[in-house]
Chain A
Amino acid sequence: MANATQTAGDGGGAVAVRHEFDAKARSQTSIILGRFVRHRLAMVSLAVLVLLAVASFVVPMFLKFSYADTRAGSYLRPGGGHLLGTDQLGRDAFAQLLRGTQFSLAIAFTVAISSTIVGVLIGAVAGYLKGLVDSSLMRLVDLFLIVPQIALTALLVHAFAPSWYIVAAVLALFNWMQIARITRGEALSLSAREFVEASRASGGGTWHIVFKHLIPNMIGTITVNATLSVSTAVLTEAALSFIGLGVQLPDTSLGLIVQDNYTQVLLRPWLFWGPFLAIVAISMTISFIGDGLRDAFDPRQTKVRA
């Protein structure tokens, strides 16, 4: 397998090492938090996301109609207690939207968190240890990668009852390889750097180096990837719903609601724009939060260090 020869880097590694140790001495967490809090866009996004999440659970308690209530007529226009009108079955579209938000958030976070943890660990260990461990882990990645996830997900979802956690589990199962490969690439590159060699020379174990040196130095890539994978999860699920192989009733998701209503954009725009904006809002706020985190985590970031 690829044996990265440990040639010297560009000669700047030592600076990075010193900075990192400096940061540590001044409690890394508080510095990162401080940086994050100062990131306005990220903070606003976080507020919006939290608000959205809380609202999706709290607001339904105060609505006139429950999400399952089908007593109203089909496709009523907004008004009369139906904030966004009703859907084909006469269910309140706003209550549906809130419920879809709950499910979508649950799916997205389950997928993103589990797949990122698995992917980063495997990728970092493989890239750092090289040799046999790397080969075998990467063969495992290859094995999962040779089949497009959406295909196997569709097959599995078709075979099993498509409740939200099955969909989330299957999506996560086929979503960790990308981050693993990217992490490995970075780890290969990083482990050739002087500060890693220095740490190794001073007796740092594998896990120590992975957690203390590799992962913190890859945090930019990891967070960008993790945030992207939250949106990916929402959108992949929506894609599956579109072809009829995603989450299914009685469970629901924003994707399912959008797919039910995507052709309404001209006919009944209120049905389309509600779930559409909810998906966009979730996806965008998470991405901005990811950006904020990236800036905050970056130990080499000098701009906001003061």
Chain B
Amino acid sequence: MRRSKAIPAIAVMAGAALMLTACGGSSGGGQDNGSGSGGLASAAIGKGESGDTYTAPKVNDIGPVVVSTDKPFTAYNNATSDAVQSYNSYALIQVLARPFVLDGNNKVLLNKDVMDSVEVTSTSPKQQAPKIKKGVSWSDGAAWNCKDFYLAWLAQSGTDLKPDGKTTYFLPGATTGYSQIDSAKCQDDQTFVTEFSSPFGDWKSLFGISDDLLPAHVLEKQTGVSDITQVTPKSPADILTKVSDFWNTGWKGFKADLAPGSGAYMISDWQQGSSITLVRNPKWTGNPGGPAKITLKAIPDSNAQVQALQNNEEQVLSSAQPDANAAQTLQGLGSSGITYGANAGLNFEHLDLNLKRPIFQDEAVRKAFGQCINRNELVDKLIKQVQPDAKPFNSVIFFPGMPGYADNYSDKLISNPATAKATLTSDGWAPGPDGIMAKGGQKLTFKISHTDIPRRKQTVALLQQECKAAGIDIQDDTDANFLDKRVSDSDYDVALFAWSVAPFHSAGITTYKTGGNQNWNGTTSPAADAAFAKALAQTDDAAAVTDYQTADKAIADTYSTFPLFQPPNMWAYTGDIDKAYFQSYYGSMWNANEWQKPNA
């Protein structure tokens, strides 16, 4: 229950910068619907987990560890709009302490190493009061306290308007949740009290899960502001300018004295574009982590990652953009002590039919197109090599494992060209001499537009063959810049891309509501519109889920968008590590402090 609440907000954050993700790989994905290789399910649970809390376990020193992933670490302040990307979180999860952490199953755990408690002191208006443990400090010796929480709110409140009334001083990637906080103040160094203006179910995702708590004392020192908690979104322009300038740009690049650690590790070295190295934080009060040093390397080519793992240059491999060949090679390396795992990512690939095009105003055409699509073949040929237990994806609002997920598409995308043909015939279409259906001199032919990602091209190649038997002629339209403008200008017949966030509950509204901001294909469903309106007015989350379900179903019935599958993540580790798991948002390093030698 709790988990399901936390996910949407986090997804908003993580997904914000990664909309229409180029390679379908953005944030990770770790679903609890049994994905991942069977024996690895236990790896999704942290060793230090106990009930709803987490305490770093006592572990042995295992020396240095090297981890690889697809893209490099770019920024210590991962909340600015130009920086936010999940690959930064991969390292920061071990560097910056936070009140709540997530395990491999996305279960929210109170971090007892740094927190005494986090209480909701009042529900109306909702008040939240984290109590910070005494004695927690940054690696440079300064206290980790309420100030750091305050800065996170100040920077992301979205209310620090410049005199022009349109732009803000701070440039955060997102303000979700923070913008609903009316007031935030430090009762004392250990207690931070926030008051929400409107209910925000995912309050636990703020201050640490969807973003990081940055060192306020560093900012104070650099800007000459003596006490950051005295600065408010309505402070004088000169002060806000000074403070926001540092927050926006001061943490770019890497200077050791500006970027201390508050977690079990701190950054010791950063090679722009290639690697970041973490060492144990000497001031860390919890149990020290197992690896003495963790190097997170960026190796964009996943086959190169595999060979580096084989060569024992790295002990853990993680990829949110896996390649089928690399995955299969890894799966065959069991005899060399390499363990492989894969799970579904939190985004989904789908087809949008442009209802503004005359050909798709004909519902029979949309229906027939759906009926010839064989999603099992797509999953078998494109996903299962990486994730053997992958399944087609069946909703545009919910993910499998979340309350409300229902299969709205298996009866529509039935992989039956004969039925598709019959649907067309009964609508007056007839096969032409070339086998392509035609009606009134109009041939049934359209283009599927997408960016130049191999998997998308393969998807189209498969769809072409699947629908050929139904007399539907599909053309491939690969355009590297398709998502730049054409998609939002509705300049396509059918668009093939991935949503990483929008479908989540309220976020889906702009995409599927009639006339919504991102409703580029012109989906119209009065039933869905009504359900969305009702959902927004609900105060009870469970009731809202029912409304979203109604909307989900109504959207499916318009035959205007077809979800296909969730692109997978994969990871692997050598016999030098006991177990590792790919966490949806934090990659493979979410529990790096717990890593041990197998027999230790």
Contacts and interface: CB of A to CB of B under 8 A. Distances in A.
Direct contact between A and B in the complex (CB less than 8 angstroms)? yes
18 contacts: A68-B465, A69-B465, A71-B465, A73-B380, A88-B324, A89-B381, A89-B462, A91-B461, A158-B452, A158-B480, A244-B452, A250-B461, A250-B476, A263-B325, A263-B326, A263-B329, A267-B325, A267-B329
A185 interface: no
A14 interface: no
Interface of A: 68-71, 73-74, 88-91, 158-159, 161-162, 244-245, 248-250, 260-261, 263-264, 266-267
B385 A88 contact: yes
A89 B381 CA distance: 6
A70 B461 contact: yes
In this complex, the member of A73, A88, A244, A266 whose beta carbon has the largest number of chain B beta carbons within 10 angstroms is A88
Interface of B: 303, 323-326, 328-329, 332, 377, 380-382, 385, 452-454, 457-458, 460-462, 464-466, 476, 478-481
Given A74-B381, A158-B480, A250-B476, A68 B452 contact: no
Contacts of B452: 158, 162, 244-245, 248
B147 to A, nearest CB: 46
Contact of A68 (B464, B479, B481): B464
Nearest to B325: A263
Given A73-B381, A159-B480, A264-B325, 6 more contacts: A74-B385, A89-B462, A158-B480, A158-B481, A248-B457, A248-B478
B56 to A, nearest CB: 39
Nearest to B457: A249
A263 B457 CA distance: 20
Given A74-B380, A74-B381, A158-B480, A267 B328 contact: yes
Task: Please report whether the interface of chain A is mostly helix, strand, loop or mixed according to DSSP.
Answer: loop
B329 A249 contact: no
A89 B480 CA distance: 22
B326 A88 contact: no
Contacts of B479: 161
A29 B301 CA distance: 52
Contacts of A161: 478-479
Contacts of A158: 452, 480-481
A244 B326 contact: no
Nearest to A266: B329
B478 A89 contact: no
A263 B327 CA distance: 11
A159 B479 CA distance: 8
A158 B452 CA distance: 9
A207 to B, nearest CB: 43
Task: Please report whether the interface of chain B is mostly helix, strand, loop or mixed according to DSSP.
Answer: helix
A71 B481 CA distance: 31
B462 A70 contact: yes
Contacts of A162: 452, 478
B434 to A, nearest CB: 15
A26 to B, nearest CB: 56
B471 to A, nearest CB: 16
Given A161-B479, A244-B454, A248-B452, A267 B332 contact: yes
B332 A263 contact: no
A88 B458 contact: yes
B381 A90 contact: yes
Nearest to B468: A68
Contacts of B303: 263
Contacts of B461: 68, 70, 89, 91, 249-250
Contacts of B460: 249
A91 B462 CA distance: 10
Contacts of B377: 70
Nearest to B382: A88
A270 to B, nearest CB: 14
A266 B457 CA distance: 26
Contacts of B480: 158-159
A260 B303 CA distance: 12
A161 B479 CA distance: 6
Nearest to B463: A70
A159 B385 CA distance: 31
Nearest to A259: B454
Nearest to A158: B480
A88 B332 contact: no
Nearest to A242: B301
Contacts of A159: 480-481
A242 to B, nearest CB: 9
A285 B324 CA distance: 34
B465 A70 contact: yes
Contacts of A90: 381
Q: 4 smallest A-B Cβ distances: which pairs?
A: A263-B325, A70-B465, A249-B457, A263-B303
Contacts of B323: 263
Contacts of A89: 381, 458, 461-462
Contact of A88 (B381, B453, B466): B381
A70 B323 CA distance: 20
In this complex, the member of B457, B461, B476 whose beta carbon has the largest number of chain A beta carbons within 10 angstroms is B461
Contacts of B454: 244, 260
Contacts of B476: 249-250
B418 to A, nearest CB: 15
A205 B12 CA distance: 74
A237 to B, nearest CB: 15
B579 to A, nearest CB: 26
A158 to B, nearest CB: 5
A162 B454 CA distance: 13
B244 to A, nearest CB: 35
A272 to B, nearest CB: 10
Contacts of B466: 70
A260 B461 CA distance: 15
A244 B321 CA distance: 14
In this complex, the member of A68, A74, A91, A263 whose beta carbon has the largest number of chain B beta carbons within 10 angstroms is A263
A71 B462 CA distance: 9
Contacts of B325: 261, 263-264, 267
A106 B221 CA distance: 65
Contacts of A74: 380-381, 385
Contacts of A248: 452, 457, 478
A107 B387 CA distance: 37
Contacts of A88: 324, 381-382, 385, 458
A72 to B, nearest CB: 10
Contacts of B380: 73-74
A267 B326 CA distance: 10
Nearest to B465: A70
